[in-house]
């Protein structure tokens, strides 16, 4: 089964907060010091709006949002659960 790659959209969103810093796919977003507590809500709203998914209470674990890879995996899981295969245009 081929999975969609959501990383380009995720990286484009994160670039707004990281400036010139090139974020690696496995780099801890929260340990970087570039973001604050309000960022978490912005990130959840971005993921829901960009990929047409709903982040449920049980999804609100830091592990799901800590890295680009974790975010990509979360989006892939959530989209698969609703039968979606491609990011929104």
Between CA 26 and CA 40, with CA 29 as vertex, the angle to 5 degrees is: 135
Q: Which of 54, 44, 49 is nearest to 77 (CA)?
A: 54
Please give the Cα distance from 45 to 88 (Å, whole number). Answer: 14
Between CA 13 and CA 19, with CA 54 as vertex, the angle to 5 degrees is: 10
The domain limits of the chain are: 7-12+24-82
CB 55 within 8 A of CB 49: no
pLDDT digit string, tens, across residues 30-77:
998 888 878 989 999 999 999 999 999 999 999 999 999 999 999 999
Taking the domain 7-12+24-82, which CATH number applies?
Answer: 1.10.1200.10
Res. 3 pLDDT band, cuts 50 70 90: low
Question: Which pLDDT score is estimated for 37?
Answer: 78
pLDDT digit string, tens, across residues 11-25:
999 999 888 899 999
């Amino acid at each position: 089964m081929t999975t969609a790659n959501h990383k380009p959209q995720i990286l484009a969103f994160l670039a707004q907060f990281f400036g010139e810093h090139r974020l690696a796919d496995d780099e801890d977003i929260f340990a970087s010091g570039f973001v604050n507590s309000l960022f978490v809500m912005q990130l959840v709203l971005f993921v829901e709006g960009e990929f047409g998914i709903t982040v449920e209470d049980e999804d609100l674990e830091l592990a799901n949002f800590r890295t680009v890879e974790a975010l990509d995996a979360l989006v892939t899981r959530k989209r698969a659960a609703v039968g979606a295969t491609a990011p929104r245009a």
